[in-house]
Structure formats: C-alpha cells, structure tokens
A and B are shown apart, each in its own frame.
Chain A
Amino acid sequence: MKKYGSSLFLALVLAGAVHAETVFVTLEKDNALAVVDPIEGKLIKTVPVGQRPRGIAISPDNKFLYIATSDDNAIKIIDAETLKEIGKLPSGDDPETFALNPAGDRLYVSNEDDSLVTVIDLARKKAVKQIKVGVEPEGITVSSDNRWLISASETTNMVHWIDTKTNAIVENTLVDPRPRAAGFTADSQQLWITSEMAGTLMILDAKTKQIIKTIRFEVSGVTADKIQPVGVVIDKGRGRGYVALGPANRVAVLNAQTFEVEKYLLVGQRVWNLAFSPDQKRLYTTNGVSNDISIIDLESQTVTKSVGVGTYPWGVAVKP
C-alpha cells in the first residue's frame, strides 16, 4: 500500500512536471532572459542573451526562441531547452518587434528607424525582402490563416495589409494615433489594434479592412493620459480579449463578441505585453516599471500572483 502510495505520488509529480509550462521573459535593461515556473510562481533563473532584448517568440514546434536583441542589431535563435544561442538572423537595424508566421518558416521584423519590414526566410536564415511601409512601423502580426501580414506605423497612424504571398501592400487603413500592437482573432476574421495615444482599441474587419468598432478605455481613479493600450490578445474561441493598458497598471478584459469591457485587473506598473498559457487558462503580463510579471487566472478572472523577474521586463513567450 505504501509502495503504491509512493509510486502514485511519483506519478503525480511527473505528471505535474510534464504539464508545467515555462514562461520566458526578456529583460530589456538586464540584457537577459528570465525563466519562470508560473505554476510555482517562481523565477527559476536568468540567462544573458545579448544587448537590450525586447521582442520574443517561440517556434511552433517549441524548440527555438527568437529574441530581438536591439542593440546587437540581430534576432537571436536560442535553443528553448539549453537556452544556448544557436544562431542569428539578419534583422536590420534596431529590431524591436517581429512576427512569426503560423508555419514557423517566415519571420517579419519591423525596422522602426528605416520604415521597413524585413522578411526573413528561417530555413536559410536570410532576409529575402524588405517592404517599404509607413513611418515608425511597430505593431506586427500574421493572421492565423497566413493570408495577411499586418504592420502598423506609429507616426503615419496607418495599418498596412500585406499579402504574404507577394509581400506587397494591398491596402492601408487609417487608425487612431500611435497604433501599437496588433492581433488577429483565431478565425482570422478580425484584427484588433491598440492606439497608445487615443487610449483606444479598434476592431477591424479583415474582409472590408474597415474599423467596425472603437473601444475607449476608462478606469475609475486613473487619469486618461495614463491609459496607453499596448499588448492585445484574444482567446481561441473568441470569448474574451485582453488589452494591456501600460501606465494605468491594468489589463482590460473584454467580451470579444459584444466588445464590452467586463473588468479591469490590477497588475504591476506599466504593463506592456501579454501571453496566454498553452491551455489558455492563464495570462502572463510583463510589467516594465515594477520589474515583475503578473499571473492572471482566466477562469476566476483574478490576478493570482506577481513574480519579480529583473529590470524592465519587456516581452513574454510560453513553452508548454
């Protein structure tokens, strides 16, 4: 009985170990990558990755991490197991944000200073095209059906719809000032874009490429100038969407069908980027000024824990 008990315990521990996911956070000022166990709510370790790491993504097979090390003018390829650098991508100058296509064979980088989007072939590790876009491109994403590449220009206040087959701009949509982050719904029918200056979220229809709804955020007790929406994610079933509100220190929870704001969740200071856990039961936020990440339990819609990670946490990626 005792033997069974201990093997059961072992099985539970192993099962726990299998299900436990790892959260990777880029630390802009520490030039490092923080590795967090979100179930335990603990920082496991911090490893150096290069100068000023910001944008981060994980390959669809979860084997590689891509990290934009802005001051190295490169995107680094890191082995997601050993966390060793295994290669570099020619990203152009000062890469900050980039997007990986669903197949994981193309990577699109915003080159803010040159008003360009660089297309990288990941198999050959080469830049295959540079697309001229508006001034200061920042937000970038690819639709889940791989049809559209979206680049948002902060100064031109424009969203560029780029055909992924031809790498050419098909259409442009004018949006609220300083568009920051963009995200498609899982069915690729809607594009959600945040405007940092107007404090809004815009929902665009992928067919008409027009804004169908603009949501203005208002948090009681927080002045309007502090509401600067940045990161945006929408769950798979298009039940809810989440928007990081920057210095308002809140994450807005929206009903993704009615676009009503359901709740504002208090997280750390200057919340920047967001990422779901693989099962979409949790949401992780990077809080740039308070130097931590917050863990949100999506079933109860509550912030369960904030974990200190290091100076200026910027991007976040999750490995199952």
Chain B
Amino acid sequence: MHLPEGRRAGPSRMNILHYWRAMWGIIGRELWRFVTQRERFISALVRPLVWLFVFAAGFRATLGLAITPPYETYILYEVYITPGLCGMIQLFNGMQSSLSMVYDREMGSMRILMVCPLPRWFLLLSKLLAGTAVSILQVYVFLAIAWFYDIKAPWQGYLWVLPALMLAGLMLGALGLLLSSFIKQLENFAGVMNFVIFPMFFMSTALYPLWKLKESSALLYNLAKYDPFSQAIELIRFALYGQFNQPAFIYTLAAFIVFMTAAIIGYNPSKGMMSKKGGG
C-alpha cells in the first residue's frame, strides 16, 4: 500500500516545498478548526479557570509557609497553581488531539493523511506541532486572564515560557499520539482518562509542591518526581520566572523523544499496533 521511501522523493527542491506545504496545511487546519469552534475554545479555558477561581480560592492560604525556587517570597496558592494549570491545558490538549486522531482513523481521514507521499514521522510531527500551537494559544489566553486576576509574572517570563511551552506541548502531544496508536475505538478513551490523565495530573507538582508530598508519603513523592508531567510543569514554572530548569528540560526532552519514537513505531502498519487493529 505504501510506496518505499526512495520512490516517494521527487526533485529535492520540490520535496522541501512539499514538506512545507504539508506541515502548514496540517497546522493551519488545526488552528482554523480551533478558532472556528468557539465552544472548544471556551471549554478549553473553562477547565483551568474553574480550578483557578474555585479550587485555588478555597485553598488560598495553604501555601506560604516555605519558599521554594523559583519563588523568592511567599505566594498565594493561586500563584503556585498557575503553571500547573498551563500544564493541564497542554495535557488535555494533547489528549484531545489523540482523541481526534482516533476519530480521524475511524472516519478514514487518517488513511488519506497517511498515504500522502511524505514520511510518516513527518506527518505525525506536523500533527503534533499543530496540536502544540493550539495549546500554546490556549495557555497565553489563560495567562492573560490570570494577569487580570493579579497573578503576574515578570514580563520577560512571558517570553521565556514560550520555548518551555513548546517542548512541554510536544512531549504531552507525543504521549497522546502514542496512546492513540493503542486505542482501538473511540469508546476506549474513558480508560485513557482514568489510567493516564488523572494519575498523571494528580501525581504531579501541578497542585502541590514536592516537599508537601514528601510529608505524606515517600512513594507518592517519588511517583510525582519522576512523572514527566511534573517535569514539564517545573520547566514552565521556572521559565515563567525567567529561570532555566536544566534537569526538567533534559527530562522533558528525553520523554518527548521516547514517546515520539514509540508513536512512530505504533503508527507503522507493518510493525505497530495498526496492523493488529486493522485501522488506519
């Protein structure tokens, strides 16, 4: 069904143009879809805002007993939780993309994309970049609302956070891609929520700092510490305050490479899960 790599390539200049067109086609489609679907835009914002205005408000005074980097003074809980909610937006976005890929596969549009005469990894990466671009857009809108709620980072932080959001978005998107290669039917997505999203979110530094978790359980502390979602959040948190968290960067990058490689293998019809499922 698929042509060998060598036969796909035409003249090399034409090839780059192809790649370029395909990538922007995919990203453009995703952004357009996002902007035009107002409900999706609003619902993507409502979730973190409910956490910020309702959940965090109830726990306002819980932190403020110890100062941990990158913070230099006492902070309210809503200030702490904000980078975690940026991560949450990206986590859900990554999962949403994976959901839409399962849908695309069921509807057959994935087949059309996959038979396009460009390498599979490139198509998947373009899909991933498209999803990440959408999530970054959502995060910035969320940060703007938080700013009016008096949750303000130094202005440089809003620039530094962009590369951090890119990497975090790619990593979480790659995880979504990987999962979507495993999911046979749309109905199985509930399982993903229960077994992936919730544990990943609650066992992370999104809602509570590591030192707080350490107080309750060493196991929980270790699970949270090595949760790639925690590392992505810490990368975002430090970047938002103009600091570079190297260990978090390395960990997130490594997680991205692992998830992406596995997803590419997963989408390979001869090796991966696709052949067993008969989808695609």
Residues of chain A having any CB pair with chain B under 8 Å:
41, 220-222, 249, 266-269, 290, 294-295, 302-306
Contacts and interface: CB of A to CB of B under 8 A. Distances in A.
A266 B60 CA distance: 11
Contact of A249 (B57, B64, B72): B64
B196 interface: no
A221 B60 contact: yes
Nearest to B66: A290
Instruction: Describe B's contact surface by its main secondary structure.
Output: loop
Nearest to B152: A302
Interface in B46-96: 57, 60-61, 64-65, 67, 72-76
Nearest to B60: A221
A41 to B, nearest CB: 7
A222 B62 CA distance: 11
A221 B74 contact: no
Nearest to A41: B72
B64 A266 contact: yes
Nearest to B74: A266
B85 to A, nearest CB: 19
A249 B60 contact: no
Nearest to B64: A266
A304 B73 contact: yes
A18 B269 CA distance: 71
B74 A303 contact: yes
B61 A222 contact: yes
B61 A294 contact: no
A290 B65 CA distance: 8
5 contacts: A222-B61, A249-B74, A266-B76, A303-B74, A304-B72
B73 A294 contact: yes
Contact of B61 (A221, A303, A305, A306): A221
3 pairs of A and B residues whose beta carbons are closest in the complex: A221-B60, A306-B73, A305-B72
A303 B71 CA distance: 11
A220 B57 CA distance: 9
B72 A266 contact: no
Contacts of A295: 73
Contacts of B75: 266
A217 to B, nearest CB: 15
Nearest to B63: A266
Contact of B73 (A220, A221, A222, A305): A305
B205 to A, nearest CB: 21
B59 to A, nearest CB: 9
B60 A306 contact: no
A294 B74 contact: yes
Contacts of B64: 249, 266
A286 B64 CA distance: 16
Contacts of A304: 72-73
Contacts of B67: 306
B76 A306 contact: no
A221 B73 CA distance: 19
A268 B74 contact: yes
Contacts of A266: 64, 73-76
A74 B74 CA distance: 35
A122 to B, nearest CB: 37
A267 B74 contact: yes
Nearest to B67: A306
Given A302-B152, A306-B72, 14 more contacts: A220-B60, A221-B57, A222-B61, A249-B74, A266-B74, A266-B75, A266-B76, A267-B73, A268-B74, A269-B65, A304-B72, A304-B73, A305-B73, A306-B67
A261 to B, nearest CB: 15
Q: Which of B57, B67, B75 has the most chain A CB within a 10 Å cutoff?
A: B67
Interface in B207-261: none
Contacts of A267: 73-74
A290 B66 CA distance: 9
Contacts of B72: 41, 304-306
A5 to B, nearest CB: 25
Nearest to A248: B61
Contacts of A268: 74
Contacts of A221: 57, 60-61
A221 B76 CA distance: 11
B226 to A, nearest CB: 30
A23 to B, nearest CB: 15
A296 B14 CA distance: 60
A234 B262 CA distance: 63
B36 to A, nearest CB: 39
Contacts of B152: 302
A123 B23 CA distance: 83
A130 to B, nearest CB: 42
Contacts of A303: 73-74
Q: Which of A220, A221, A294, A303 has the most chain B CB within a 10 Å cutoff?
A: A221
A306 B60 CA distance: 19
Interface in B123-154: 152
B261 to A, nearest CB: 43
Contacts of B61: 221-222
B187 to A, nearest CB: 43
A269 B76 CA distance: 13
B196 to A, nearest CB: 34
